[in-house]
Structure 1
């Protein structure tokens, strides 16, 4: 068996931030090259701290879906996963044994040499006649840039050099949002009458959809500027490289090149198998977990919101794949993003009819890690991380949470945790029984989530929590 985990940044506020990671997981899942493909995020669920509990295999490959090496790939992700590694990741990746699992952690996909091809494909999409007009066209590889880590800049410059060597374009420039040379300087730097801008970003988001077009005065995929220092120029604005389907092939190549990837694979992880076998037995008799009702349905399993019990199926939107269910439960009835899946905001008006294999993935999308953590708590072996330990682990912008007073922490808990189904074990609350003992709302919370950490940071900083 092999498990593949795709790691994204995610967002508390932007529900589209994780879309690219989810799409690659779905594409790779369909290829059946791994026994399972799941996701993990820094800023939403399933979280980095939870994800290893949720893998079915003892052989796990973790691939960060980030554009460049830097603070997240070298510090945050290894720390949250407990890899015992900090700093640059070697080309073959990092191998560890954690909790009986063989874990391989690779470089981010953005540094792979094949990403130059992805940039070129994005350019061809907005300028199909590129082969004919390339010598009248300039390419701008647009990066974010940061003064905190040179790696962010290096990957942009390296890809620009690779494409410059091909000689397809009249000019190739590496420009940045937040460091020099800045993208706002393009009219002075670029002489070609056609200019293709390809954002070297992992996903669509605030920058690619709003700030870049607004700052550059772009009005869609194609914008004509009649007055520039070099005469009329037409700018073609491409989609970000991180959302191109070819990235899935880059991910597979990284997995194949990972340290020890040629081994025979792993076995079924025993604790995980036991938890889900027990859950399966509950589902076959009908059960409830949190706000979700599970009913056996002619060899299949129906999931629906508990408040929709008794409603005719014809009145509900029916999903027959876990991915369809995922897209529904990630937003509440008002369309707002749900970064924590156990918030009491599960939307209504749907049902999912899933087979035995898809039931596990469907429940993983609805309530990530809840089955594994509840089963561990049911058997009194769930390890909880007290708030002071979580606070001490934070670095960078979040280090300030270490200064939070107990009153501030409790104030955030009243504001945020009161709307969650989980019981705050890390905060000293007690949970006598879980849904494995017939208590539907018995869901443990073993550690403060990243939403909570962010809210404490805002509280310490004197600003209202999001």
Structure 2
């Protein structure tokens, strides 16, 4: 007569979260690699989760990464066309929870304010004597992108009272060149973008040059030092909601 050993503990199955961004259709690999690096940084903050990544521009990558009941984290600045239309179509048939897009996280303005205050302090610049231009994407398809940027700007002003902050857009009025033209030194351009794609590398510098802008361009908001922790908190918060599953 044999004695069966008692069963051991059930293996732990981690929750899955997927970071997704638009990517770059003309050259998908670089944004894909960059997003994977961000996912790895977020993973350090969520050891009980499995953090994956996939851009929408890499064909089939999102579908391959997908799993039932995953948390989808849109590394976008607004709840616009891609998050409201493209992502739901790509994920049709799956159960998932959608986190708040990166640019709309309520903690982002305060995090940006701290980084901006440190930048000004390091340069020895007076907050009240420095012009800051928030350079955002905007959209000809609808108001959501600009609304997100303006809401962020309003919250950033509240976090840094007295700051001279204006907004300019790549795809709608007031365009970046128009917004930058009256700015005097010292001034900083803060790109309201998650990643440094073609708009940040090419369109914004070209617009600033046209305007005769004499200030500096800061890194995108997606490069903030505490960005991975912010994303991790958003994923955890979304994963513990009692409802909201699509």
TM-score band, normalised by shorter chain: 0.7 to 0.9
Q: CA deviation at 1:127?
A: 3.9
Of 195-204 and 243-252, more deviation after overlay is shown by 243-252
Structure 2 CA distance for partners of 1:259 and 1:128, relative to 1, 3 Å: same
SS of the residue corresponding to residue 36 of structure 2 reads helix
1:251-283 C-alpha deviation (Å, 9 max, x unpaired):
1222233264479xxxxxxxxxxxxxxxxxxxx
Structure 2 CA distance for partners of 1:19 and 1:196, relative to 1, 3 Å: farther
1:132-156 C-alpha deviation (Å, 9 max, x unpaired):
5111101111101112121100111
Q: Which residue in 2 is equivalent to 1:27?
A: 41
Structure 2 CA distance for partners of 1:131 and 1:60, relative to 1, 3 Å: farther
Confirm or deny that 1:241 pairs with 2:215.
Answer: no
Aligned pairs for 1:332-347 (under 5 A) are none
User: How many correspondences in the alignment?
Assistant: 229
Q: Which has the higher contact order (CA 8 A, sep 6+)?
A: 2
Structure 2 CA distance for partners of 1:18 and 1:118, relative to 1, 3 Å: farther
**Over alpha carbons, which structure has the higher Rg?**
1
1:397-429 C-alpha deviation (Å, 9 max, x unpaired):
xxxxxxxxxxxxxxxxxxxxxxxxxxxxxxxxx
Confirm or deny that 1:165 pairs with 2:158.
Answer: yes
Hey, which bits of structure 1, 4+ residues long, moved more than 6 A? none
SS of the residue corresponding to residue 202 of structure 2 reads helix
Structure 2 residue runs of 5 or longer lacking an equivalent are: 1-13
Q: CA deviation at 1:129?
A: 3.4
SS of the residue corresponding to residue 161 of structure 1 reads helix
Structure-1 separation of matches of 2:59 and 2:162: 42
Structure 2 CA distance for partners of 1:82 and 1:242, relative to 1, 3 Å: same
SS of the residue corresponding to residue 31 of structure 1 reads coil
Aligned pairs for 1:3-42 (under 5 A) are 3-14=16-27, 15-42=29-56
Aligned pairs for 1:88-127 (under 5 A) are 98=94, 103-120=96-113, 123-124=116-117, 127=120
Q: Is the 8 A contact 1:4 1:62 kept in 2?
A: yes
Q: Is the 8 A contact 1:126 1:237 kept in 2?
A: no
- TM-score, normalising length: structure 1: 0.45
Confirm or deny that 1:81 pairs with 2:91.
Answer: yes
Structure 2 CA distance for partners of 1:34 and 1:59, relative to 1, 3 Å: farther
Confirm or deny that 1:196 pairs with 2:188.
Answer: yes
Structure 1 residue runs of 5 or longer lacking an equivalent are: 84-97, 219-224, 264-466
Q: CA deviation at 1:103?
A: 2.1
| CA RMSD in angstroms, aligned pairs only | 2.8
Q: Is the 8 A contact 1:16 1:205 kept in 2?
A: no
Structure-1 separation of matches of 2:22 and 2:149: 19
Structure-2 separation of matches of 1:197 and 1:20: 23
